[in-house]
Structure 1
Amino acid sequence: MNALHQHLFDSYRAAQHDEPAPPAPGTHDVAVLRAARDHRRFEAVLAGRPTTGWLRLAVRQALRRRRRAGAC
């Protein structure tokens, strides 16, 4: 059973019991990702690490190493 089938089953059950229907699958995905990002940033602050810019820094360092090696 996939998420859509489960949603339809839960919606039918809610309608039978005069309860509100559950949210559609994927409705809160963005909110969950934002909460995970905020938690990761919070943990970084507590550990004394920078909270943003890690991807840009990693790309910059990789490009520098590549230029030093003469690959460009």
Structure 2
Amino acid sequence: MGVTEQYALDLYRARRREEPLPPAPGRYDWRTVRELREYGHLRRVVERRPAPRRRRHALTRPLTDALTRLLTRRRRTP
């Protein structure tokens, strides 16, 4: 059974039981990932281990610069 089919089944079941409808799939994915990351940091602090620092990928700065140049490029008028 796919995600969409499961969601449809959950909607049907909630309406039959007059319960609140479940959230759409994927709606809170990033929030959940962020909360899991924060939980991992909290566990490290409680266990008195150093929390990991956020590392930037080697391509982050050049990619950002290239996108900025592309988006702020002035159009030439003939």
Where on the TM-score scale, by shorter chain, does this alignment land: which range? 0.5 to 0.7
Percent identical among aligned pairs is: 32
Instruction: Tell me which protein shows more helix as a share of its residues.
Output: 1
In structure 1, distance between residues paired with 2:14 and 2:5: 14
What residue ranges of structure 2 are gaps of 5+ in the alignment? 59-78
CA distance in 2, matches of 1:20, 1:48: 41
Structure 1 stretches lacking a partner, 5+ long: 60-72
What is the aligned partner in structure 2 of residue 24 from structure 1?
24
User: Aligned partners of 1:44 and 1:27: how far apart in 2?
Assistant: 28
1:48 paired to 2:19: no
2:3 corresponds to? 3
Query: TM-score scaled to structure 2, two decimals?
Result: 0.56
RMSD: 2.2
How much does 1:48 deviate?
Answer: 3.3
Q: TM-score, normalised by structure 1?
A: 0.60
Q: Which amino acid aligns with 1:51?
A: P
Instruction: Report the Cα offset of residue 50 of structure 1.
Output: 4.5
